Amino acid sequence: MTPSANPPSDAVQVLGACPHDCPDTCALLTTVEGGVARRVQGNPAHRHTDGALCTKVSRYPERTYHPERLLTPLRRGGPKGSGQFEPVSWDEALDDIAARLRAIAARDPQAILPYSYAGTMGLVQGDGMAARFFHRLGASLLDRTICASAGGEALVQTLGGKVGMKVEHFAESKLILVWGSNSIGSNLHFWRLAQKAKRDGARLVCIDPRRTETADKCHEHIALRPGTDAALALALMHELITHDWLDHDYLERHTLGWDALRERALQWPPERAAEICGVPVAQIRQLAHDYGTTKPAAIRLNYGMQRVRGGGNAVRAIACLPALVGAWRHRAGGLLLSASGYFPAQRAALQRPDLLAGRTPRTINMSTIGDALLSEASTGFGPKIEAVVVYNSNPVAVAPESAKVVQGFAREDLFTVVLEHFQTDTADYADYLLPATTQLEHWDIHASYGHTDVLLNRPAIAPVGQAKANSAVFRALAERMGFDEPCFADSDEAMCRQAFGDAVDFDTLLSQGFATLPVPDAPFADGGFPTPSGRCEFFSARLVAQGLDGLPDHLPNHEAAGSDPRHPLAMISPPARHFLNSTFVNVQSLRSVEGEPLLELHPDDAAPRGIDSGQMVRVFNARGEYRCKADVSTRARPGVVNGLGIWWRKLGPDGTNVNQLTSQRLTDLGRAPVFYDCLVEVERA
Ligand code: SF4
């Protein structure tokens, strides 16, 4: 492909930010020669990036100039879902899309649904101009739950927000629990800090059903069953209490509900938890001893473990632990799941909910998009969904219970617009497929959920082909719809300035590409949690007011191990190391490393089924079936299979992926999906 800009002669380096759904939010340096992006590197001046990118993003030019990149607007030219398209001009596409949306909105704008997630984490190309457009239209609201809302809600209820340790201080910890995180694959820059701590004598314990690459490098691996993390956390509390490894002063001054939590935890002796978690009693006792007696002790929690029925309660239970031992007193102690609550993003200025002008559209949960697209109009549901506009997301591949998602997107009476870089599984179902710019081609601004720096992304090259930024597409649609509020004329750079207002110095962002928020080193050393009580809330009156348990507890999976003899194996579907959700699956060099879709299963589960490594297997449950290759390996624990994802359906051997098997049931808190709460059976194909 020939990049579209004409060459100025000298090479320049342009400051940017990685847009992907990853806690590291790296600062990028793109070398541009003659209008062509030659190289993307980590910015060495940014301490969190430290000059290093993961393998995925260091190949960003390959993705940007990929031969299959969408370069022109396309209109469906074959049956729905066939992936057959014909080129069309931008004017023709936008005129027709605006006319179709206007006609639907005239009946009921709630019949139009935006569908987006973290294809870019940028605040402008994410839900900036798009949110303004859909608010002005009065479209259905989207409950963006697909990844993190169970854990996020749990943090809000316990710590008061998505707040925690500053990641840089993990380097000084003496005990690090890497809980539900394959950090080497999905939090590389944290892992570098953990490695430093290890060199300085820290003990690293990995808690994960899968023996990940990260588990290999820790001193110990606790391979618990999926969905049993709260039981483990409660048993740890039991041991901390019975051995008096408690910080009584911290409990007294900075927590709420200690007596009640103490009573709950005393119901969880290690023997009870060991039975549920499927791990030895001695391992739980040893972990509790280490956690209770090593200072400072830190927990790096990640979102995988909250993708089960009791995911919110599990995060609540784990988030209570640092307060029991007073770990928050030290900057290298405490817990980090997300730091995004520290960012003073001015979302109302960016997204302009005031454009709803008093209307209160219904909210559709993105995690149950399959059911939503198949719902008829009713009093409870509201109007049938007549149009979906998908941007920054690939729901046909990533949403649970794919058979229903596919059936929904295949509806002949559904008008679907997709903004994308590539012809993904979802793009195949589009009526209009619009070419989007990549991060190298547009302005954006980024918060992070893994550190506390704001990053600015400047365009390094001109848009490739006829690609347009998401903001430009929604601006153009707004104009055609006759939306004349001045905010629709804001430029992308102006929106970057609005994103944090005066809270972040924009000149600093322009000159160095990042700006550090003034977060204290040990934010809760003297309490001061952003909860209503100002304390770490073991007991949450807000949850009780919702009719929920005020204390964290272990909630068994919807599909608990042993509950269905026809489907005796639990399946989790963590990302393959070289993919990021469904992004990068089409980058040949990365797909070549991954090879093909794999199901890891333990030799004890493979042998009675006559399955050897390399054989095709059929993985199935009542929702569907999926074929892939078996990898008989102790990376899987007995009774649990690991379906590595998330492959594009059309690149898998039978045109499906693991989400053919996952369910649309939801978590206890946050209305989130339960991807890792899924029973299956496996047989030779
Ligand atoms: S480590 Fe994460 S933030 Fe950094 S380049 Fe890779 S995907 Fe982007």
- The predicted-structure confidence for 251-283, as pLDDT tens digits, reads as follows 999 999 999 999 999 999 999 999 999 999 999
Ligand 1: which atom is nearest the Cα of residue 58?
5
The structure tokens 């793109």 sit at 30
Identify the DSSP state of 441: G
Ligand 1 midpoint to CA 449 (Å): 12
Q: If phi over 0 gives left and psi between -120 and 50 gives alpha, with beta otherwise, what is residue 412?
A: alpha
Whether the bond into 572 is cis, omega within 30 of 0:
no
Question: Which atom from ligand 1 is nearest to the alpha carbon of 49?
Answer: 4
For residue 296, cis peptide bond before it (omega within 30 degrees of 0): yes
Nearest CA to ligand 1 atom 3: 25
Whether the CB-CB separation of 27 and 46 falls below 8 Å is answered with yes
- Kindly tell me if the per-residue pLDDT of 653 is higher than 90: no
Mark residue 601 as left, alpha or beta (left: phi above 0; alpha: psi -120 to 50; beta: remaining).
beta
Q: Is the pLDDT of residue 77 over 50?
A: yes
> Residue 650 corresponds to which tokens in the numbers above?
């059309």
- Torsion, Cα 572 645 193 50, to 10 degrees, reads -170
Residue reference for tokens 């402008």:
124
Measured CA distances, 31 to 58, 306, 353, 552 (Å):
12, 39, 38, 50
Q: Which of 26, 59, 457 to mutate to test the pocket of ligand 1 (most atoms within 8 A of CB)?
A: 26
Strand partners, 179: 207, 301
Query: Using CA positions, which residue lies closest to atom 6 of ligand 1?
Result: 54
Ligand 1 atom nearest the C-alpha of 580 is 7
Pocket-testing residue among 24, 41, 457, ligand 1, by greatest number of atoms within 8 A of Cβ:
24
Token pair recorded at residue 27 = 């600062």
Closest CA to 23 of 456, 447, 346: 447
Query: For residue range 136-181, what is the model confidence (pLDDT) as tens digits?
Result: 999 999 999 999 999 999 999 999 999 999 999 999 999 999 999 9
CA of 457 to the centre of ligand 1 (A): 14
Residues 6+ apart with CB under 8 A from 424: 394, 396, 397, 418, 582, 586, 648
Closest ligand 1 atom to the C-alpha of 53?
Answer: 5
Tokens, residue 356: 């709803």
Specify which residues 368 forms β-bridges with. none
* Residue-wise pLDDT tens digits, 483-505: 999 999 999 999 999 999 999 99
Task: Name the closest-CA residue to atom 8, ligand 1.
Answer: 18
* Confidence check: pLDDT of 648 > 90: no
Reported as half-sphere exposure (CB side, CA atoms, 13 A), residue 464 has a value of 27
For the CA of 54, the nearest atom of ligand 1: 6
Instruction: List % helix, strand, coil for the chain (3-state, nearest 5).
Output: 35, 20, 45
- Structural contact between residues 408 and 374, judged by C-beta atoms closer than 8 angstroms: yes
* pLDDT attached to residue 9: 55
Burial class (CB in 10 A: 0-12, 13-18, 19+), 203: middle
Dihedral sign (CA 484, 485, 488, 493)? positive
Collapsing DSSP to helix, strand or coil, 130 comes out as helix
Cβ(226)–Cβ(560) under 8 Å? Answer: no
Contacts of residue 546, defined as CB under 8 A and 6 or more positions apart, other chains included, come to none
Confidence of residue 681 (pLDDT cuts 50, 70, 90): very high
**Whole-number pLDDT of residue 580:** 61
Closest ligand 1 atom, CA of 18? 8
- Residue 654 has a pLDDT of 87
Is the Cα dihedral 193, 197, 199, 205 positive or negative?
negative
CA of 25, closest atom in ligand 1: 3
| From 54, 189, 457, mutation site for ligand 1 pocket: most ligand atoms within 8 A of C-beta | 54
Looking at the CA of residue 189, tell me the nearest atom of ligand 1: 1
Pocket test for ligand 1, best of 56, 60, 444 (most atoms within 8 A of CB): 56
Q: Whose CA is nearest to atom 5 of ligand 1?
A: 53
Mean pLDDT for the stretch of residues 648-653: 86
Residue 576: which pLDDT band, with cuts at 50, 70 and 90?
confident
Burial of 408 (0-12, 13-18, 19+ CB in 10 A): buried
- Separation of alpha carbons 297 and 165, rounded Å: 11
Q: How many Å lie between the centroid of ligand 1 and the Cα of residue 53?
A: 6
Dig out the tokens for 410 from the structure. Answer: 């295949």
**Pocket around ligand 1 at a 6 A CB cut-off:** 18, 20, 22, 24-26, 53-54, 56-57, 188, 580
Residue nearest to atom 4 of ligand 1 (CA): 26
Three-state SS across 556-596? CCCCCCCCCCCCCEEEECCECCCCECCECCCCHHHHHHHCC
Cβ contact 210:637 at 8 Å: yes
The mean of the pLDDT values for the chain is: 95
What is the whole-number distance in angstroms between the Cα of residue 391 and the centre of ligand 1? 20
d(CA 320, ligand 1 centre) in Å: 29
How far does the centroid of ligand 1 lie from the alpha carbon of residue 453, in Å?
A: 14
Atom of ligand 1 nearest to the CA of 19: 8
pLDDT over 70 at 617, yes or no: yes
Antiparallel, parallel or unpaired: β 141-143 and 363-365: parallel
Cross-strand pairs, 630 = 599
Best mutation site among 21, 49, 53 for ligand 1, i.e. most ligand atoms within 8 A of its Cβ? Answer: 53
User: 57 alpha carbon to ligand 1 midpoint, in Å?
Assistant: 6
Nearest CA to 130 among 506, 141, 465?
141
pLDDT for 6 beyond 90: no
**Ligand 1, atom 1: nearest CA belongs to which residue?**
54
- So what's the pLDDT on residue 582? 62
Confidence at 651, pLDDT banded by 50, 70, 90: confident
Contact, 663 vs 559, CB < 8 A? yes
How far is the centre of ligand 1, averaged over its atoms, from the C-alpha of 243 (Å)? 42
Pocket of ligand 1, candidates 25, 28, 49, 57: which has the most ligand atoms within 8 Å of its Cβ, to mutate? 57
For 307-316, how does the pLDDT look when each residue is reduced to its tens digit (9 = 90+)? 999 999 999 9
DSSP string, 345-402: --HHHHH-GGGGTT----EEEGGGHHHHHTPPPBTTTBSPP-EEEEES--HHHHSSSH
Q: Are 671 and 222 in contact (CB under 8 A)?
A: no
Torsion sign, CA atoms 404, 409, 414, 417? positive
Ligand 1 atom with the shortest distance to the CA of 57: 5
Question: What sign has the CA pseudo-torsion 276, 277, 280, 285?
Answer: negative
Phi and psi of 232, rounded to 5°? -65, -45
Angle at CA of residue 225, ends 292 and 554, nearest 5°: 65
Whether the per-residue pLDDT at 593 is higher than 80: the answer is no
